[in-house]
Homo-oligomer: A and B are copies of this chain.
Amino acid sequence: MPAAIDAFVKQNQPRFLEELKEFIRIPSISTLPQHTPDIARAAAFVAAQLGAAGMENIQIVPTAKHPLVYADWLHAPGKPTVLCYGHYDVQPADPLELWVTPPFEPAERDGNLYARGSSDDKGQMYIHIKAVEALRAVSGRLPVNIRFLIEGEEEVGGASITRYVAENPGRLAADVALVSDTAMYADGIPTLCIGLRGLIYMEVAARGAGRDLHSGLYGGAAPNAIYGLIEVLAKAKNADGVIQIPGIYDAVEEPAPAELQSWRGLPFDEREFLAREVGASTLTGEPDRGVLERVWSRPTFEVHGIAGGFTGAGSKTVIPAQATAKVSFRLVPKQDPDRVVAAFREWVRAHAPKGISTEIRVLNASPGVVVNPDHPAVRVAARAFSEVFGKETVFIRSGGSIPVVGDFARHLHIPTVLMGFGLPDDGLHSPNEKYKIQNYYLGILTVAHFLQQYGGLG
């Protein structure tokens, strides 16, 4: 059987690549209204391909924004059910002038496919469809029950899928979810992600005077909304990046010694990370913790944007009446988003300077996620990944957040296998996004082997 699958995938590589290119050529940018017809085309493409792979009950599910695509194949009684997730929408491509070849004309160079969405996430979600197709082609059936749920709003917050998952737990019943929307730790290293940070994203608005005031006539006696805002925010962390809000670290757990030990075994060059990726004069953060620990298993507080007062060319001497900042906490597993929001609200209220009123608006809040590496699906996934790539699978975390994984945990009560085939330097959301073509083929094999072996457990 594995040999037959391998042969089928090998034989069909050129077609699989052409299909992926066709998919990528649809500029399904979810944030730009003028691309709404492309969103519809991309959803239809996915639905058609699911049909071609033998999936059933295919539905393009309308939502408040962009449609979901659902499909299933449920003819493996007694076998587990796998819920395959991915997204067909992509980020905008600008700045266009920085692309070597046009973003929606996929181009092969050095074994990579260059295009917007090649890695994030069209090239990865398409792996699932082709793995199912290969399994059906070889044996006429699937080794497990399968559901697909593909969204078109991942790059714009994913509100519709969150709602759909919450409202349709019965329809989505499964034993495990499979998500390919992350990167391998490095090329050639099979990698399962078993931890994601959560995210609380907020706007903090500050108000001082009733209107913008002349800084000559009122400066010295009138509150300044920008200054009030930055006075508060600057107190949120100390110089080492340690968050100063009481209670924030209460629920933060240290990674198990074995997990920490395994991180130390990963190839990581701090100097290269600084020079190639961060590009600053130095790294920052908690000095007694390694870099991977800081970005994987520690909470953070960041200011993402700030605006207030006069920012045009030249000078205007205004005491601004209002100012706003976008801020976030990244959370680690066990931290309760609601408690963190409450602690932050209370702290801001207590630290707002004289004459400054503040308002906090929570845009979204999702908890961190850990996957138990001893879950059968995870163990099988690790084995399949190792077999195909010929190397021991490593378990890592990611500092990022995939809210839908939290939705699956909360509403479907299932863990997620985070099996990504991207690479850290794929340039997601950037010009010249790329995807290693060889890993696309190996990904199809890996997912097929995983499903095969996971079905064999039943």
Q: How far is the CB of A84 from chain B (nearest CB, A)?
A: 23
B330 touches A318 (CB 8 A): no
B320 touches A304 (CB 8 A): yes
A224's nearest neighbour on chain B, judged by CB, is B302
A201's nearest neighbour on chain B, judged by CB, is B315
A328-B323 in contact given A227-B302, A302-B224, A309-B306 (Cβ < 8 Å)? no
A304 touches B317 (CB 8 A): yes
A305 touches B308 (CB 8 A): yes
A428's nearest neighbour on chain B, judged by CB, is B214
Chain B residues lying within 8 Å of A108, measured Cβ to Cβ, are none
**This chain: copies in complex:** 2
Selected interface stretch from A53-61, A247-255, A282-290, A409-417: A282-290
Selected interface stretch from A14-22, A99-107, A136-144, A398-406: A398-406
Chain B residues lying within 8 Å of A357, measured Cβ to Cβ, are 281
B355 touches A399 (CB 8 A): no
Selected interface stretch from A3-11, A164-172, A204-212, A449-457: A204-212
Pick the contact of A363 from B215, B314, B398 — CB < 8 Å? B314
A209 to B227 Cα, complex, angstroms = 24
B279 touches A209 (CB 8 A): yes
A306 touches B306 (CB 8 A): yes
A219-B306 in contact given A279-B210, A311-B326 (Cβ < 8 Å)? no
Indicate with 1 or 0, residue by residue over A168-209, a CB within 8 angstroms of chain B CB atoms.
000000000000000000000000000001010100000011
Contacts A223-B278, A230-B233, A305-B310 known; list 13 others, CB within 8 Å. A199-B216, A209-B278, A209-B280, A216-B401, A220-B300, A220-B399, A223-B280, A231-B234, A281-B357, A304-B317, A306-B307, A309-B326, A317-B328
